[in-house]
Structure 1
């Protein structure tokens, strides 16, 4: 089936549409780009995922991935390794890294688009330690094992609104890249406003 790739995602090759919705038109495409690495520590054997609560700064009060900026020429997997170690208080060492797609984020009124490269970590050692900025916590996947059944589910109301569409396919082992458009935040600390339009494609 033919489909149209959103502006900004033309460099990727898609095999199909995973999710799409929202208003008819995309926001204007910003001319500059900010790159981040978003890391998801997912224990596939025990079907549990480690994510940090942000206590200050970016996404304060939300459950977010392990996030760090990176520049052209940087190794995103090395950045991923470092951010997991720092944001788990040195308690968790990531041992493997997998490309898990990403998010092309446009916020109304912003001069820059954010491209968040998603990195999955399936092998690790250690347990997280709370820091002044982050409180890492384990959550069960939608298909928990006996080892993870007692853990809480991901709290969608405490995450960024677009992430539920991405997680759905991530837990199924499928890779998606998407564009998400948000309204401007009511307050700077909110980072984004409401989700206005989204599209995720399989790669």
Structure 2
């Protein structure tokens, strides 16, 4: 399957990729009117096997856990924006490494979110609650080796749920965006990835209300990039 429209065209990916669609969604990728650029930073401690997540207290994504990030402002680079948002939302600084690019679009919205994802395994400062985010530590267990990552055939949702250890709370996947288990194992394995997820409202059978659901998704692992 080719790279979905809207993603950087100079990115080369390798199979296997993760792709799928909602059983009631029959259309192709949605047309995107325009795109806004965002960042998302995930910090974890490999020695103590823990990852820092932020609970969103207000605004878009309120009530969900995520990394730390936000919109790239005029005049700043993506890396500068990532470091600024990390400091503003969690009170820490870190040596960040770019690891992924994700494109999100919800039907009926005026723009898509192009999110540049960064990781960090060391940081400075004490995580501190801000007006927007409450940082909390969660248990983390990294894959034993790259070989295990390459040969693992486990369902990505089961794999993501298994990435937890020690006495800290488990990673709260039930209170994160539904796409997270698709690419989280790649990030924790220090692989580079790219992907797109489209959302639309579908009726929730349990509550009878309309909720945003993933309707089409694709995640690939980056093996090389070309400037051409």
Same fold (TM over 0.5): yes
Shift of 1:81: 1.4
After the TM superposition, which residues 146-165 of structure 1 pair with which residues of structure 2 at under 5 Å, given as runs?
149-165=166-182
- Alignment match, 1:189: none
Aligned with 1:44 (options 43, 46, 65)? 46
After the TM superposition, which residues 176-195 of structure 1 pair with which residues of structure 2 at under 5 Å, given as runs?
176-184=193-201, 193-195=212-214
User: Aligned equivalents of 1:104 and 1:26: distance in 2?
Assistant: 15
- Alignment match, 2:65: 63
Aligned with 1:166 (options 180, 183, 192)? 183
Task: Evaluate the alpha carbon distance shift between residue 15 and residue 73 of structure 1 in structure 2; reply closer, same or farther with a 3 A threshold.
Answer: farther
Instruction: Return structure 1 stretches of 4+ with deviation > 4 angstroms.
Output: none
User: Aligned equivalents of 1:118 and 1:163: distance in 2?
Assistant: 12
Shift of 1:47: 2.6
User: Aligned equivalents of 1:97 and 1:44: distance in 2?
Assistant: 15
User: Aligned equivalents of 1:41 and 1:73: distance in 2?
Assistant: 25
The unaligned stretches of length 5 or more in structure 2 are 144-164, 204-210, 223-228
- Alignment match, 1:6: 4
- Alignment match, 1:93: 93
- Alignment match, 2:79: 77
The unaligned stretches of length 5 or more in structure 1 are 187-191
- Alignment match, 2:130: 131
Shift of 1:104: 0.6
Q: Report SS of the residue matched to 2:184.
A: helix
Shift of 1:113: 1.5
The alignment covers a number of residue pairs equal to 191
User: Aligned equivalents of 2:40 and 2:28: distance in 1?
Assistant: 23
Q: TM-score, normalised by structure 1?
A: 0.85
Task: Evaluate the alpha carbon distance shift between residue 160 and residue 29 of structure 1 in structure 2; reply closer, same or farther with a 3 A threshold.
Answer: same
Q: TM-score, normalised by structure 2?
A: 0.76
* CA RMSD, Structure 1 to Structure 2 (Å): 2.3
- Alignment match, 1:197: 216
Q: Report SS of the residue matched to 2:80.
A: helix
CA contact (8 A) 1:18 1:176 kept: no
- Alignment match, 1:108: 107
Q: Report SS of the residue matched to 1:41.
A: strand
Q: Which has the larger radius of gyration?
A: 2
CA contact (8 A) 2:64 2:176 kept: yes
